[in-house]
């Protein structure tokens, strides 16, 4: 029980996994729109990423340039103030006063923060965390103290605050303040990029909103284009389906002069030509059917007269000389064949005209098969053929027309006796819940596997050089196929050259009920079965 539930769960999971694939390959519109959407999204992502990178690089470069300019101006003011303060007082008081003034100037507007590194302590903007200045930049600036280098050094950093404000990216510009004759101090100007971050955020939002609008617009355009292209194609498909179903007067509407309009014109022309050719074929078929029926009927009157004369001659043939005796016997036999051919032609004409009808009764198929086999025992004995009948233990009741199914069995049995090469013919009957079946197996000349459908064609012969010693008309199997089809069943054939043939008749037990499966296999049971080759496992013993 658990294994069945697990199997059902796996089947449901597989169906769910296959659902997107079926939907994708089942709708051309979905594929066009989906492909357009995926391509648009990929292009927008790539273009947006490149645009954002360029915008970020431009904003950062502008910030660096402005930071250098402001830091250079602030440093000049710092050094000028430091020189003036040194003249008026002590060095310690001067640097503290000048550093405080620099911090105050940087705090106006929050444009930048200042950190002056002194031997005793740092003077900085109050909210700035000293860790915002990278240690690598500190080392570079401190190395420049003992030289005359007055360059500005910069580095990217993460500006941290001591009042709990969120950290933001920034730029640190460092330099050494003071002349060569005075004490030199490292000075750092920290420029937060808060405004630039807001600008980048606005750019990102603009890119996202623009991308969504472009994607939506592309989806709408793709859907419209797909509908404009697929609708005529779908109309052509539907028109072709209607033509295939027999609606030959159906035509496609023609709009415009583009390729799709020319497609509609071509489809309409093809439909007109097809309708014309089919009407010609139908007319030829009707003429052929009428010709066969008329000829068959017209030949019956002279045939009756010839038959009467032939019977008179045949009754007295024993008193004739040898040549006339033989002629009377041949005339009687060929007239029998001719009458059989006329009867088959009339039956075929009824099938072609759709005038064949069934007389259904519930009967035992086993009894009918036994009756037909008993009737052909004498014929089989003349050919040296043994008829082997295999019947089930239970009855094989079914609804069928006894005359027609009996004729089918006689045709199959006669065909097997004629082509059986004197070997036994097996007849097997079986039944299941929905069908009953009969197989007729011979071991004669057989036929090619590719001819399994040709054997039911009218006047078809596997070996055209082979004489019909039993007087067949070449229509027996074709009539048998039509008789079985009237019952809603099927007649199939299996054959191999010089290995014989087997024919299987399957009809439903109740007329109009579909056949689930045939109770007998098409391939003969007496064929050798392929056995799997056993593979040795382990070490072979010596």
Report the half-sphere exposure of 358 (CA within 13 A, side-chain side). Answer: 16
Is pLDDT of 179 > 90? no
Q: Are strands 490-496 and 500-508 parallel, antiparallel or unpaired?
A: antiparallel
Cα 42 to Cα 218: distance, rounded to the nearest angstrom: 13
Domains of the chain: 23-243 (3.30.450), 248-355 (1.10.287.130), 357-508 (3.30.565.10)
Q: Give how far the C-alpha of residue 326 lies from the chain's centroid of Cα atoms, to the nearest Å.
A: 70
What does the pLDDT read at residue 528?
67
**Cβ neighbours for 341, distance < 8 A, ≥ 6 positions apart:** 473, 475
Cα 219 to Cα 49: distance, rounded to the nearest angstrom: 21
Mean pLDDT of 391-409: 91
Mean pLDDT of 135-163: 82
Tens digits of per-residue pLDDT, 228-284? 777 777 777 777 777 777 777 777 777 777 776 777 788 788 888 877 887 887 777
74 phi and psi angles, rounded to 5 deg: -65, -35
**Cβ neighbours for 368, distance < 8 A, ≥ 6 positions apart:** 402, 405, 406, 409
Cα 169 to Cα 200: distance, rounded to the nearest angstrom: 12
What does 227-266 look like in DSSP terms, one character per residue? HHHHHHHHHHHHHHHHHHTT-TT------SSSHHHHHHHH
**Cβ neighbours for 164, distance < 8 A, ≥ 6 positions apart:** none
**Cβ neighbours for 174, distance < 8 A, ≥ 6 positions apart:** 133, 137, 138, 140, 141, 152, 153, 154, 155, 186, 187, 188, 189
Task: Give me the helix-helix angle, 476-486 and 322-353, nearest 10°.
Answer: 30
Mean pLDDT of 127-151: 82
Cα 91 to Cα 182: distance, rounded to the nearest angstrom: 9
- Percentage of residues of the chain with pLDDT beyond 70: 85
The larger pLDDT score, comparing residue 381 to residue 164, is at 381
Give the model's confidence band at 292: pLDDT under 50 very low, under 70 low, under 90 confident, else very high. Answer: low
Count of C-beta atoms within a 10 Å radius of residue 541 = 4
| Structure token pair of residue 482 | 């039509």
What does 444-499 look like in DSSP terms, one character per residue? SS---GGGTTGGGSTT--S-TTS--TT---S-HHHHHHHHHHHTT-EEEEEEETTT
Is pLDDT of 420 > 60? yes
- Of the candidates 435, 475, 477, 485, the one whose C-alpha atom is nearest the C-alpha of residue 452 is 477
Tens digits of per-residue pLDDT, 183-209? 778 888 888 888 888 888 888 888 888
90 phi and psi angles, rounded to 5 deg: -75, 160
What does the pLDDT read at residue 535?
37
Is pLDDT of 533 > 70? no
Cα 293 to Cα 92: distance, rounded to the nearest angstrom: 135
- The residue written with tokens 């597989």 in the block is 14
Is pLDDT of 81 > 80? no
Alpha helices in 126-193 (DSSP H): 135-143
Is pLDDT of 424 > 90? yes
Mean pLDDT of 30-48: 84
Cα 234 to Cα 212: distance, rounded to the nearest angstrom: 31
Mean pLDDT of 20-45: 80
- The residue written with tokens 């923060």 in the block is 113
Is pLDDT of 433 > 80? yes
- Percentage of residues of the chain with pLDDT beyond 90: 17
Is pLDDT of 329 > 90? no
**Cβ neighbours for 514, distance < 8 A, ≥ 6 positions apart:** 434, 488, 508
Where does residue 239 rank: exposed (0-12), middle (13-18), buried (19+ CB within 10 A)? buried
Contact 167, 159 (CB under 8 A): yes
């Amino acid at each position: 029980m658990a294994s069945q539930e697990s199997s059902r769960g796996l089947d449901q999971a597989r169906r769910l996994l296959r659902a997107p694939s079926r939907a994708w390959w089942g709708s051309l519109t979905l594929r066009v729109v989906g492909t357009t959407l995926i391509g648009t999204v990929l292009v927008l992502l790539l273009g947006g990423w490149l645009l954002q990178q360029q915008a970020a690089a431009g904003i950062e470069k502008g910030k660096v340039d402005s930071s250098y300019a402001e830091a250079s101006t602030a440093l000049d003011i710092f050094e000028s103030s430091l020189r003036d303060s040194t003249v008026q007082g002590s060095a310690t008081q001067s640097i503290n006063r000048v550093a405080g003034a620099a911090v105050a100037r940087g705090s106006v507007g929050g444009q930048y923060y200042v950190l002056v590194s002194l031997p005793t302590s740092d003077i900085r903007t109050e909210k700035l965390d000293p860790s915002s200045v990278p240690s690598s930049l500190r080392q570079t600036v401190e190395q420049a103290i003992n030289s005359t280098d007055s360059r500005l050094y910069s580095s990217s950093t993460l500006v941290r605050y001591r009042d709990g404000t969120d950290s933001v990216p920034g730029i640190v510009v460092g330099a050494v303040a003071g002349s060569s004759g005075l004490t030199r101090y490292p000075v750092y100007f920290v420029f937060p990029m808060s405004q630039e971050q807001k600008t980048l955020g606005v750019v990102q939002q603009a890119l996202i909103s623009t991308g969504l609008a472009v994607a939506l617009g592309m989806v709408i355009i793709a859907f419209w284009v797909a509908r404009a292209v697929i609708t005529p194609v779908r109309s052509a498909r539907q028109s072709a389906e209607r033509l295939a179903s027999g609606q030959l007067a159906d035509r496609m509407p023609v709009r415009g002069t583009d390729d799709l309009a020319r497609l509609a014109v071509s489809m309409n022309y093809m439909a007109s030509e097809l309708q014309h050719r089919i009407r010609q074929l139908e007319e030829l078929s009707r003429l052929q059917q009428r010709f066969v029926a008329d000829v068959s009927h017209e030949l019956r009157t002279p045939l009756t007269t010839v038959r009467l004369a032939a019977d008179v001659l045949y009754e007295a043939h024993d008193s004739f000389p040898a040549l006339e005796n033989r002629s009377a016997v041949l005339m009687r036999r060929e007239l029998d064949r001719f009458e059989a051919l006329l009867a088959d032609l009339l039956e075929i004409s009824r099938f072609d005209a759709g005038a064949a009808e069934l007389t259904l009764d519930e009967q035992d198929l086993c009894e009918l098969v036994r009756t037909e086999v008993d009737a052909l025992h004498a014929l089989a004995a003349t050919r040296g053929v043994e008829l082997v009948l295999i019947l089930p233990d239970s009855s094989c009741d079914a609804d069928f027309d006894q005359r027609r199914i009996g004729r089918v069995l006689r045709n199959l049995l006669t065909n097997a006796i004629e082509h059986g090469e004197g070997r036994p013919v097996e007849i097997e009957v079986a039944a299941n819940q929905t069908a009953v079946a009969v197989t007729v197996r011979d071991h004669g000349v057989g036929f090619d596997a590719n001819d399994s459908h040709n054997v039911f064609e009218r006047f078809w012969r596997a070996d055209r050089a082979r004489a019909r010693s039993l007087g067949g008309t070449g229509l027996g199997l074709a009539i048998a196929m039509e008789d079985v089809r009237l019952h809603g069943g099927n007649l199939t054939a299996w054959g191999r050259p010089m290995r014989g043939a087997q024919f299987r008749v399957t009809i439903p037990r109740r007329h109009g009920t579909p056949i689930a499966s045939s109770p007998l296999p098409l391939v003969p049971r007496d064929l050798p079965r392929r056995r799997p080759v056993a593979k040795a496992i382990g070490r072979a013993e010596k």
